[in-house]
Structure 1
């Protein structure tokens, strides 16, 4: 424990030490072990510190087989080193980790909801709460109570105890070790066995903001931020709100009303557009009917389109075949590298559209199907739409003649 300077002083940013080992791990990554260190290794849900050793970047810190390995980008050629801990990252982790202690204690003490998981990410922090549901009212009250603890700036202290001494303390859970048990204490709130770094008082945690929560494996995963992360979140959100107000030409307080007006207007426009499209497709169907080609079995319409949806072509074919029971429609559309086709006929036509289409699709390595009156499918655009139309009509004629 004497080697772990971050336990003696979590605020220590610079230190000197000697290299006791320099090696590569199984993946070829260079690391050094020091006589003592202020670099915190990853563990207990808290990420590792970063910084420099003699101006060489420290990119990872892990405790493996009882030694703290400082992973560096290149070898160090001196025995003595000066370490520089990235304070911005360290203090951020101190804020988030202490904030988690506060929030978890509030959920347990006031709502009887224990925390069963914790993760400190680069942008957000999550805790897994052992409950199947969480109301907005509970989350809001928990946030208020947690921030009340922050504003009271209660002392955060550390006590090292043995197993017998630990049993006398109101710990949240059983310690995972049996000796050198480190207990983080928030005055009149929390006793927690923890190996992380924390500030000296709750006031340094800064504002705690719950962002969201969702169901996760039968429990609730709650997302939040603390301290400077909360301030950055507020800045981003304010910029978004300000930008939205400018775009909407409104005051910030009036944004919800403006959005409701826009949504209402959009729905009306969508209805009007749908009605216009219905009229257009009806006009198109009538125009195609006028251009229908007479054949020995009745009439046919063969059209090659580009970038038309199958839904719209199916609607168009249905309108035409409803108006003329003796007609067959062949619609082909090329969408990028794909050819799609729909064959449909009126109720007086005896030919099977499903059989016809399936006979033609192998030419484009396609698949599809349907019923006697309507079938659709698609494949690769290895030939032009016009060529595939001709292929369809050729198969239809051969079938008719047979």
Structure 2
């Protein structure tokens, strides 16, 4: 079996090793197995390391059937001894995040006996699932404070290999699932946990722990957080955005919230005014259409119109105004909007035309779908024929020639 250098020294950056095997997996990807390695394989919630082996890039590391496979972007040329280089920034980030998760989970259990049931270390943030249904802001802040207190104290983070029988000597945070090769990660007098991941030597190297938020999922709370250098990166990003927004709205940072609230309120008022003006314009448009009635059949006024790139909501308002003002009218409208043909039929109270029946018969022409009632119906479909020809066919459905 490959000797795991990352357990001897998680801070190892480079190493050399004999190549035991080079092969392709079932999907055709090259991988090598080494006599010893500093590359951590995916496992225990921690992602794999990356780096280089010789002149090949290590893009994935997995432990399969007892062998650690280093997946490469290309075949290794030399199959004897190879130099390995671990991407240290990625490795140390994972060490900070993983240790931070131990501390935060232990803090939840220390203060409130909230157990962590799962953990995920993502590219941007981490999540833990807590076996609770609700979490208050006050409790989250107290847990975060305790976790950062443990970080500032710079406590040792110890690792220890123990037998199954020796587990009785420790108060573990969760039950161990394996019976041999048991590795404990220990923060004395605070956290005792079975773990196969990489961690820094002291809690102070975690830097800082920051809870970002949480949400309820079924019967658990999924909590997001970040640690170490990720906190600094996010602070820098948010500070840059805050500065840009402050300059954009000409407001000092402490007044941004109030200024934006006022801007949003003004936008709402302006949007309301614009909507009222638009409605008035649609009324004028409806009146113009009423003065240009298309034709009359059996005392029913039929108004037909083709529109260009108009939303169906506009057509609905125009049609409602016409049919409300003229009870014996029926409108037939066709428009093209966002690459779809859309049709509408509306009938006044004294009209004998059933709008839903007309639209239902017209929709198959454009492979469309729609709905409505006898007074107003609409639908949309493909741009299968011209708008003018479609309107003619709808007119024939009202009064066949």
TM-score, normalised with respect to structure 1: 0.94
C-alpha distance in structure 1 between counterparts of 2:385 and 2:239, whole Å: 55
Distance 1:48 1:358, change over 3 A: closer
Corresponding position of 1:33 = 33
Distance 1:353 1:160, change over 3 A: closer
The partner residue of 1:377 within 372, 376, 379 is 379
Q: What is the CA deviation profile of residues 123-168 of structure 1, one whole-angstrom value per residue up to 9, with x for unaligned ones?
A: 1111111111111111111111111111111111112211111111
Aligned residue runs from structure 1 range 63-78, under 5 A = 63-72=63-72, 73-78=74-79
C-alpha distance in structure 1 between counterparts of 2:126 and 2:365, whole Å: 56
Corresponding position of 2:133 = 132
Q: Is the 8 A contact 2:54 2:76 kept in 1?
A: no
* 1:255 aligned counterpart, secondary structure: helix
Q: Is the 8 A contact 2:16 2:82 kept in 1?
A: yes
C-alpha distance in structure 2 between counterparts of 1:349 and 1:367, whole Å: 24
* 1:295 aligned counterpart, secondary structure: strand
Q: What is the CA deviation profile of residues 46-95 of structure 1, one whole-angstrom value per residue up to 9, with x for unaligned ones?
A: 11111112232122211222222222221242411221111111111110
Q: What is the RMSD computed on CA atoms of the aligned residues? A: 1.8
Corresponding position of 1:44 = 44
Corresponding position of 2:59 = 59
What stretches of structure 2 of length at least 5 have no aligned partner?
A: none
Confirm or deny that 1:160 pairs with 2:167: no
Query: Cα offset for 1:336?
Result: 3.9
* 1:69 aligned counterpart, secondary structure: strand
Query: Cα offset for 1:200?
Result: 0.6
* 2:350 aligned counterpart, secondary structure: coil
Query: Cα offset for 1:349?
Result: 2.1
Query: Cα offset for 1:2?
Result: 8.2
Query: Cα offset for 1:238?
Result: 0.6
C-alpha distance in structure 1 between counterparts of 2:246 and 2:94, whole Å: 34
Confirm or deny that 1:85 pairs with 2:86: yes
Confirm or deny that 1:333 pairs with 2:326: no
C-alpha distance in structure 2 between counterparts of 1:363 and 1:146, whole Å: 66
TM-score, normalised with respect to structure 2: 0.95
* 1:398 aligned counterpart, secondary structure: coil
Aligned residue runs from structure 1 range 218-297, under 5 A = 218-297=219-298
* 2:75 aligned counterpart, secondary structure: coil
Distance 1:387 1:41, change over 3 A: same
Q: Is the 8 A contact 2:2 2:34 kept in 1?
A: no
Give the number of equivalent residue pairs: 399
Query: Cα offset for 1:369?
Result: 4.4
Distance 1:44 1:365, change over 3 A: closer
* 2:3 aligned counterpart, secondary structure: coil
Query: Cα offset for 1:294?
Result: 4.5
C-alpha distance in structure 2 between counterparts of 1:228 and 1:84, whole Å: 22
Distance 1:166 1:310, change over 3 A: same
Q: What is the CA deviation profile of residues 29-57 of structure 1, one whole-angstrom value per residue up to 9, with x for unaligned ones?
A: 22222221111111111111111122321
C-alpha distance in structure 1 between counterparts of 2:284 and 2:391, whole Å: 23
The partner residue of 1:358 within 353, 357, 360 is 360
Q: What is the CA deviation profile of residues 6-39 of structure 1, one whole-angstrom value per residue up to 9, with x for unaligned ones?
A: 1111111112221122222222222222221111
Distance 1:354 1:161, change over 3 A: closer
Q: What is the CA deviation profile of residues 334-386 of structure 1, one whole-angstrom value per residue up to 9, with x for unaligned ones?
A: 12432211112222222333333333333333344443333322322222212
C-alpha distance in structure 2 between counterparts of 1:314 and 1:396, whole Å: 19
Q: Is the 8 A contact 2:310 2:337 kept in 1?
A: yes
C-alpha distance in structure 2 between counterparts of 1:297 and 1:217, whole Å: 61
C-alpha distance in structure 2 between counterparts of 1:151 and 1:303, whole Å: 74
Corresponding position of 1:149 = 150
Q: Is the 8 A contact 2:2 2:37 kept in 1?
A: no
Distance 1:350 1:31, change over 3 A: closer
Corresponding position of 1:349 = 351
* 1:303 aligned counterpart, secondary structure: strand
* 1:70 aligned counterpart, secondary structure: strand
Corresponding position of 2:102 = 101
Q: Is the 8 A contact 2:55 2:76 kept in 1?
A: no
C-alpha distance in structure 2 between counterparts of 1:201 and 1:78, whole Å: 38
Query: Cα offset for 1:201?
Result: 0.5
* 1:74 aligned counterpart, secondary structure: coil
